[in-house]
Amino acid sequence: MKFTQLKEPSIEKPLMIAAMQDMGDVGSIVIDFINTKLDTTIFREVLPSYPAYVIDNGGYIDLPEEKWQYRYAKGVIVFGGGSGQPSSTEELNILCQDVINTAKKHSTKFIYTLGGFHTARPTEKNPRTFVTTTSMELTDQVRKLGIETTPEASIITGFNGLILGFAKMNGIQGIGLYAELNEPKIPQYRSAKNIIKTLEKLTYQKFGDTSELDLMADQVESKTQSGN
């Protein structure tokens, strides 16, 4: 992987929000939303060693312009987004460690990650967000805020789960937020909105008006229904 430091941000003890594209595009939707609303500035970027896929344009292919960015605003570092994840476990581990190294460099005490939670329960227009943390003590604090924790034991794959493991191994507290969704292959804007609202409750911050996500959800649902 290629890591490029574009500038040195003047920021100390920020919280970090780190998530990558996953089912329902939840990770990318939330990261893009926060970057836009907070008007974050890029300071570091990552390029994969090899493409994980190619784009067929109907007779000829293009290579994806895949890259992931570290961005910052007052009191926060935002990492991720993009349209995919590393194609190998080795590169995923390298990337997770780089996120941890960047967090340590700026004395980050808390890492939040997020993604989708595939469920058979019909979510209608009200998906729930479940939370898991890096310690029982932290989970108890989250429950006192009235936030639901993950209902059962499971394995969380990909960056949006593994980064919590890296945080725990490096003595950094972490919280993962995972919103319900029924259709992993369709962008889930309502799930993303619910995560943002839960994240605001956990961080005591406001990330901006989410009404545009409702509009995007309506458009996706309209197209899906008309296609059936």
In this prediction, residues 206-228 reach a mean pLDDT of 84
- What CATH number has the domain bearing residue 57? 3.40.50.10900
Is 1 a domain residue?
no
Is 133 a domain residue?
yes
Is 142 a domain residue?
yes
Is 162 a domain residue?
yes
In this prediction, residues 119-147 reach a mean pLDDT of 91
Is 28 a domain residue?
yes
- For the entire predicted model, the pTM comes to 0.91
Question: How do beta strands 110-118 and 15-20 pair?
Answer: parallel
Range of weakest confidence among 70-74, 124-128, 191-195 = 124-128
Number of domains in the chain: 1
For the stretch 51-75, pLDDT in tens is 777 889 999 999 877 889 999 999 9
Question: How do beta strands 129-133 and 173-181 pair?
Answer: antiparallel
Is 5 a domain residue?
no
Domain ranges, residue 223: 10-227
Is 90 a domain residue?
yes
pLDDT at 85: 85
